C-alpha cells in the first residue's frame, strides 16, 4: 500500500463518519420567551408589575367576622352576627404628569337577611397630579381613634377633588354629588326636624386644611350642601401624649345637611393608649348639643375600645358604648342604650 492509497482511504472513512453523524443530529428548538412576574418596589411593598406593562398592581383585603350587640333600629333584636369579605386592587404607574393611581374595592356582607349576600362596589377611583375622580370616601370619613365618635353622617360620594400635599401642610377642595342621600333613621316623631329627604340633583362643596408640627396634627374641614342651603364645620386635633395619642374634635352644623345631621354641635375626645406592642386601649366620650336638632335636648356618649394583634395578619377588636339622651320619653329619641361589637379580622 503506497502513501496515496492510505490518504484516499482515510478521507473516505472520515466522510462516512461525518455523514452518519449529520444524519443523527438533533437540532434543539429555540425556547419560547417567558415573562416572569417582577416585584415592583417603587410604590411600597406588595406591588408587582402586570406582565407586559409598566403598571404596578397590589391585591389586598380582609375577611371579617363580627357580632353586634344592642337594640337594632327596628327594635326587634339585641344582637346580630355577620361576615364580610373585601378585596382591594391598587394600580400605579409613573407618567410625565406624575404617578397615575387607581383603586377598586369590592365588598360582600353575608348576613341572614334577604339582602345580606350581595357583592357591591365599595369604592372606585383614579388620581393624577393631585386630582381625584370617582366614587370614594371623603375627608369627612376621617374621625378620631376609637369606635365612639359620630363626627359625620354621609361620607361616600361620587366626587372630583384636588389636594395639595406639601408634606407637613395639606389643602384640598372637592365637589360631591349628593343624589339620593337621606338623613339617618331614628325613632322620632314626624314633627321633629331631625331628618331630610333625598334630592335628585344635590351637590356639595367641601374644603380641607391640615398641618402637622412634631407630633401634633390639626385639620379643619368645612362643607356646604347647596340643595338644602346648609353646611357644617369640623375641627380635629391629635397630639402624641405619653404612651399614646390624644384626640379632640368638634362639629357645628347650621341645620341638617348631607354632611352632618347628628346634632347642631358636638365635642368629642379620645385617648389611644398603647398598653403593649399588641394591645391598644381607647377610652372616648362625646357630647351632643341640640341632639337631632331639637332645641334644648342634649345627649352624651362614653365608650371603650380595645384592639389586640393576635398574630401577623390577624387582629381582634372589641368595643362597648353607652349613650343617654335628655327628655327621651318626651321626644322619643332613643333614651339610654348600651351597644357594642366583637370583631375578628384577617388582613392580607
Quote the pLDDT of residue 188: 40
What's the whole-model pTM score? 0.82
**Main-chain dihedrals φ then ψ at residue 20, nearest 5 degrees:** -65, -40
- Residue 115 near residue 109, CB atoms below 8 Å: no
Helix (H) or strand (E) run with residue 131 in it: strand 131-137
Helix (H) or strand (E) run with residue 19 in it: helix 3-24
- Judged on CB neighbours under 10 Å (0-12, 13-18, 19+), 283 is middle
Quote the pLDDT of residue 181: 76
| 3-state SS assignment for residue 255 | coil
Distance from first CA to last CA of the chain, Å, rounded? 86
pLDDT tens for the chain, 348 residues long, are 455 554 445 555 555 545 545 445 566 666 666 667 899 999 999 999 999 999 999 999 999 999 999 876 556 678 899 999 999 999 999 999 999 999 999 999 998 765 556 789 999 999 999 999 999 999 999 999 999 999 999 999 999 999 999 999 999 999 999 987 765 544 343 334 445 666 677 899 999 999 999 999 999 999 999 999 999 999 999 999 999 999 999 999 999 999 999 999 999 999 999 999 999 999 999 999 999 999 889 999 999 999 999 999 999 999 999 999 987 555 555 578 899 999 999 999
φ/ψ region of 327 (left if φ > 0, alpha if ψ in -120 to 50, else beta) reads: left
Q: How far apart are CA 298 and CA 288, in angstroms?
A: 6
Write down the residue that cell numbers 372630583 correspond to. Answer: 160
Across the strands, what pairs with 327? none
Q: How far apart are CA 272 and CA 236, in angstroms?
A: 15
Quote the pLDDT of residue 339: 94
Quote the pLDDT of residue 31: 60
Amino acid at each position: 500500500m503506497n502513501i496515496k492509497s492510505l490518504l484516499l482511504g482515510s478521507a473516505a472513512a472520515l466522510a462516512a463518519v461525518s455523514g452518519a453523524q449529520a444524519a443523527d443530529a438533533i437540532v434543539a428548538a429555540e425556547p419560547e420567551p417567558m415573562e416572569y412576574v417582577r416585584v415592583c418596589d417603587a410604590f411600597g411593598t406588595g406591588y408587582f408589575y402586570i406582565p407586559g406593562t409598566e403598571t404596578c398592581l397590589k391585591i389586598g383585603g380582609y375577611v371579617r367576622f363580627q357580632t353586634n350587640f344592642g337594640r337594632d333600629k327596628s327594635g326587634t333584636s339585641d344582637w346580630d352576627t355577620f361576615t364580610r369579605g373585601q378585596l382591594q386592587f391598587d394600580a400605579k404607574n409613573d407618567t410625565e404628569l406624575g404617578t397615575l393611581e387607581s383603586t377598586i374595592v369590592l365588598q360582600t356582607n353575608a348576613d341572614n337577611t334577604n339582602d345580606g349576600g350581595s357583592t357591591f362596589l365599595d369604592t372606585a377611583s383614579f388620581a393624577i397630579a393631585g386630582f381625584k375622580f370617582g366614587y370614594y370616601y371623603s375627608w369627612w370619613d376621617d374621625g378620631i381613634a376609637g369606635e365612639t365618635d359620630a363626627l359625620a353622617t354621609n361620607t361616600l360620594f361620587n366626587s372630583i377633588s384636588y389636594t395639595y400635599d406639601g408634606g407637613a401642610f395639606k389643602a384640598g377642595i372637592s365637589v360631591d354629588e349628593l343624589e339620593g342621600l337621606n338623613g339617618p333613621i331614628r325613632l322620632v316623631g314626624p314633627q321633629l326636624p331631625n331628618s331630610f329627604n333625598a334630592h335628585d340633583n344635590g351637590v356639595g362643596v367641601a374644603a380641607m386644611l391640615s398641618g402637622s408640627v412634631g407630633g401634633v396634627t390639626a385639620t379643619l374641614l368645612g362643607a356646604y350642601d347647596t340643595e338644602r342651603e346648609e353646611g357644617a364645620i369640623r375641627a380635629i386635633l391629635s397630639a402624641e401624649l405619653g404612651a399614646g395619642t390624644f384626640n379632640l374634635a368638634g362639629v357645628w352644623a347650621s341645620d341638617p345637611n348631607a354632611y352632618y345631621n347628628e346634632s347642631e354641635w358636638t365635642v368629642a375626645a379620645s385617648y389611644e393608649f398603647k398598653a403593649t406592642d399588641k394591645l391598644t386601649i381607647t377610652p372616648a366620650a362625646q357630647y351632643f348639643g341640640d341632639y337631632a336638632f331639637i332645641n334644648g335636648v342634649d345627649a352624651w356618649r362614653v365608650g371603650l375600645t380595645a384592639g389586640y394583634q393576635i398574630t401577623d395578619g390577624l387582629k381582634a377588636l372589641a368595643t362597648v358604648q353607652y349613650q343617654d339622651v335628655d327628655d327621651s320619653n318626651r321626644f322619643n329619641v332613643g333614651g339610654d342604650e348600651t351597644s357594642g361589637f366583637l370583631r375578628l379580622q384577617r388582613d392580607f
